[in-house]
C-alpha cells in the first residue's frame, strides 16, 4: 500500500498524509457519500512524515487489544451481574412460593374459623331458643296461675 496526499477537497479537514487510494477518493467525497465521508474522515489514521504502515498497524493492533480487554472486562462484569440477578430472582421465587403457601394456610385457617363460628352461632341460637321457649312456658304457667287465682274468691 502507498501513502497518498489528501485530495484537495479534504485539505480543510485533514492536513496530514493519510491512506486514501486515489480510486477510493471519490467515494469519500462529501457530495457523493456524506455519511461514508464523515465516518471515514474520523477513522483516518494521521501519519507524520517518516511513519509507515507498520506504525499505523501497530497503533491499530494496540487499540484493538485495548478494546478487546475493555470488552472482556465488560463481559465479565455482565456475567457477574447476570449471575447475581439470577440468584436474586431465585430467592424472590422462593419467597413468593413461601408467601403463597402461607396465604393458602391462612385461608384454610380462616375457613375453619368461619365454620366454627357458624357452628357456635347455630348452637347459641338453639340454646337461646330453648331458653326463650322455657321462659315462655314459665310465663304461660304464671299467667294461668294468676288467672286461676283471680277466678277463685
Distances in Å between the Cα of 128 and the Cα atoms of 50, 117, 124 are: 114, 16, 6
Is residue 23 situated within a structural domain?
Answer: yes
The tally of domains found in the chain comes to: 1
107 within domain boundaries? no
Decide which of 44 and 95 is more confident: 95
Comparing 34 with 151, the larger pLDDT belongs to 151
Residue 83 lies in a domain: no
Q: Give the chain's mean pLDDT.
A: 78
Buried b (16+ CB within 10 A) or exposed e, 104-117: eeeeeeeeeeeeee
Q: What domain range includes position 30?
A: 1-51
Tell whether 113 is covered by a domain: no
- State pLDDT tens for residues 77-128: 999 999 999 999 999 999 999 999 999 999 999 999 999 999 999 999 999 9
Distance between CA 8 and CA 6 in Å, rounded? 6
Q: Does residue 28 sit within a domain? A: yes
> Within a domain: residue 116?
no
Helix (H) or strand (E) holding 99: helix 53-151
Amino acid at each position: 500500500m502507498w501513502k497518498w496526499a489528501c485530495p484537495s477537497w479534504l485539505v480543510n479537514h485533514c492536513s496530514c498524509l493519510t491512506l486514501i487510494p486515489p480510486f477510493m477518493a471519490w467515494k469519500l467525497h462529501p457530495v457523493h457519500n456524506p455519511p461514508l465521508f464523515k465516518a471515514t474522515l474520523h477513522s483516518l489514521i494521521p501519519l507524520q512524515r517518516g511513519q509507515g504502515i507498520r506504525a499505523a498497524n501497530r497503533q491499530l493492533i494496540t487499540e484493538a487489544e485495548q478494546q478487546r480487554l475493555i470488552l472482556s472486562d465488560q463481559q465479565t462484569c455482565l456475567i457477574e451481574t447476570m449471575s447475581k440477578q439470577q440468584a436474586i430472582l431465585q430467592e424472590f421465587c422462593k419467597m413468593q412460593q413461601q408467601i403463597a403457601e402461607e396465604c393458602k394456610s391462612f385461608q384454610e385457617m380462616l375457613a375453619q374459623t368461619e365454620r366454627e363460628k357458624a357452628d357456635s352461632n347455630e348452637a347459641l341460637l338453639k340454646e337461646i331458643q330453648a331458653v326463650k321457649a322455657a321462659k315462655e312456658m314459665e310465663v304461660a304457667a304464671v299467667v294461668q296461675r294468676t288467672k286461676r287465682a283471680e277466678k277463685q274468691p
